[in-house]
Amino acid sequence: MINGKTRTCGLIGNPVEHTMSPAIHNNLAKQMDIDLVYVPFHVEEGRLEDAVKGAYALNILGVNVTVPYKSDVIPFLVDIDPLAKQIGAVNTLVRKDGGYKGYNTDMPGLYRAMVSDGVQLEDREVLILGAGGVARAVAVMLADKGVKEIIIINRSADRAQKIAEEVNGFYEKQLVKVLALSDVNKLEKKKYLAIQATSVGMHPKVDEAVIEDEAFYKLVDVGYDLVFNPRETKFMKLVKEQGGLAYNGLKMLLYQGIIAYELWNDVVVTKEQAEVIYEIIRG
């Protein structure tokens, strides 16, 4: 029951109408008996600073940030978590004195999803498909978790090279390498964890994958597609056809939301509670 003590959290982005986040947060609040309501806020281009200051003025407890504002929001924060600063993107704002502190829960969310699926990262050799902002964030997270090697595969080697130089510079070792999409047949014949970090596989490209060559998928024993709609992408099907395990991005969505919820409410969500929410959003 909403009353005078109910706290508000929400999501700012453009668009926000398709979001699953209210289902995560409102069901968590109900399950944990916390007096909180979560709503989406559609923020028009050019109104981001107004939205952040307005949310603070309205005593809003916490805010998620989605596209296209994950980097643009940073100048309007009073503080930023070191991981979010290194990634260069913020998706969670936590209320502090004088304003909001920015966090990135997307990558910790991906890591927690992988742990829940029994995927080990330490000393693994990992392929990242794509070289956008998400791929950069994934590379930072993987480097932080002690993988042995990261190979970024992208059509434009220049974009991938920029990410490699940034991450290698930060960690002061030659951890990240680059491979042009056209040279994918030059990969060493061993088993890799592959992370699909592009929008290929989403509507309208549901019948496409960045790489469609069966020989590539023979090298993949675990594939993670950060796309969660459709539930099984072409990338995932190709991984499974060659005997690998394949996962979509729904658990990453779940856990980024859970970590944000934990930050706002100073609570710990149990594995059992997380599983209940996962079944709700999976539908």
- How many degrees, rounded to 5, is the angle at CA 225 between CA 147 and CA 267? 75
Range 248-253 average pLDDT: 97
Q: Which helix (H) or strand (E) covers residue 224, if one does?
A: strand 220-225
Residue ranges of the chain assigned to CATH 3.40.50.720: 108-248
| Rounded Cα gap, residues 228 and 251, in angstroms | 9
What percent of the chain shows pLDDT beyond 70?
A: 100
Please tell me the pTM assigned to this model.
Answer: 0.95
- Facing residues of 151 across strands? 127, 177
Res 77: pLDDT: 98
204-239 confidence digits (pLDDT tens): 989 999 999 999 999 999 999 999 999 999 999 999
What percent of the chain shows pLDDT beyond 90?
A: 98
Res 7: pLDDT: 98
Residue 89's pLDDT band (cuts 50, 70, 90): very high
Range 233-255 average pLDDT: 98
49-67 confidence digits (pLDDT tens): 999 999 999 999 999 999 9
Residue 34's pLDDT band (cuts 50, 70, 90): very high
Encode burial over 199-235: b for 16+ CB neighbours within 10 A, e otherwise.
ebbbeeeeeebbbeeeebbebbbbbbbbbbeeeebbb
Please provide the distance, in angstroms rounded to a whole number, between the alpha carbons at the two ends of the chain. Answer: 25
Res 281: pLDDT: 97
93-147 confidence digits (pLDDT tens): 999 999 999 999 999 999 999 999 999 999 999 999 999 999 999 999 999 999 9
Q: What is the DSSP letter of 232?
A: S
Res 106: pLDDT: 97
pLDDT, the chain, mean:
97
Res 82: pLDDT: 95
Structure tokens at 13: 């982005």
Range 30-40 average pLDDT: 98
Asked if residues 93 and 124 have their Cβ atoms less than 8 Å apart, the reply is: no
Show contacts of 166-175: CB within 8 Å, 24+ apart. Answer: 166/136, 167/136, 167/139, 167/140, 167/143, 170/86, 170/140, 170/143, 171/143, 175/143, 175/147, 175/149, 175/150
Whether CATH 3.40.190.10 fits 108-248: no
| Cα dihedral sign, 162-168-174-177 | negative
- What three-state secondary structure class fits 88? coil
Residue ranges of the chain assigned to CATH 3.40.50.10860: 7-104+251-282
CATH number for the domain whose boundaries are 7-104+251-282: 3.40.50.10860
Active-site annotation, residues: 70
Range 259-267 average pLDDT: 98
